[in-house]
Chain A
């Protein structure tokens, strides 16, 4: 059964606010910083890091994933379609 979630977009400022509500931050180059202060590696391109505009933000304790179609497909499959 599919869970009912809505996909939404946020402006950059709104994204930063949401991130900061969970103790994330962004650096001067626009990369997301984990609460530990480190950049978050992309799961699809391990040598790259998540940028604030490119991340998908999943609710709960705010999980950040790559905002690419493949990564979003995986999350839809695992989180919405498999329940």
Chain B
């Protein structure tokens, strides 16, 4: 029997992956030999079934598929469906999974690759936000802007972009040892620089300190002076109090638009 026919008979029973493994094990590296165009055609026919996506890392691809169900990712996708970096958010969640499971090498490798891309600085800010405890704070803030202030998709997209662009210097994870003055100074410094959104996050005693610091800033009329509006979200993590605070800059145009009830 013709050797090509023997090969064809063997591979006709196989799925694409074992078929390729079989051919490789037989030392077949291309289709230049006489009659091998039939083998080539067989590969194409099997691939047309569209069963497999061949990827460099199968487990990683499975994780990415699962992360499509992540509530944070889903919320961003529904709030700002046109966000151009939505896939970087999913990548950030993957990196977080690696770090959380102690696989710093895998997480670091992806981050390194992202930093090297054009626009890498912005992309890595998205990753840092997604990997941090602030991701849910920012999402809650966007939800609040949509439900309470009627922000449109475009306004939410601009707001999220604004948050990302300033991310490196606009958030403070308040520790229980922090004095209220530390928090106040952090806020005042950023308000002076007109950072558009300032984020504070603390639990237990730190949550109380944030509330006190914001009350003090209010008393000292700092928000009015610099044109900010504090939005406080008090939550519970089990029985533990948690405070998420956002100081939002309100430019004259923002105030005017809100007074007019404009969406854009």
Give me the interface of A with B, judged by CB distance under 8 Å: 5-11, 13-18, 20-22, 44-46, 53-60, 62, 67-77, 80-81
Contact = CB atoms under 8 A, between A and B. Distances in A.
Contact of B56 (A9, A22, A75): A9
Contact of A21 (B40, B53, B65, B110): B40
Contacts, number: 128
Given A20-B31, A21-B31, A6 B110 contact: no
Contacts of A20: 29-31, 40
Contacts of A45: 116-118
B21 A14 contact: yes
Contacts of B189: none
Nearest to B42: A21
Q: Is the interface of B mostly helix, strand, loop or mixed?
A: helix
Contact of A9 (B28, B44, B54): B54
B188 interface: no
B51 interface: yes
A56 B58 CA distance: 10
Nearest to A67: B56
Most chain B CB within 10 A, of A16, A17, A54, A56, is at: A17
B56 A53 contact: yes
Given A21-B31, A69-B64, A54 B47 contact: no
Contact of A59 (B21, B28, B51, B94): B51
Contact of B68 (A5, A71, A76): A76
Given A21-B43, A70-B114, A80-B65, A6 B52 contact: yes
Contacts of B60: 69, 72
Contacts of B118: 45-46
B91 interface: yes
10 contacts: A5-B50, A5-B51, A7-B58, A9-B56, A13-B29, A20-B30, A69-B94, A69-B110, A70-B90, A76-B68
B24 A7 contact: no
Given A14-B24, A45-B116, A62 B55 contact: no
B221 interface: no
Contact of A72 (B52, B64, B113, B117): B64
Nearest to A21: B43
B86 A18 contact: no
Contacts of B50: 5, 59-60
Contacts of B91: 68-70, 73
B49 interface: yes
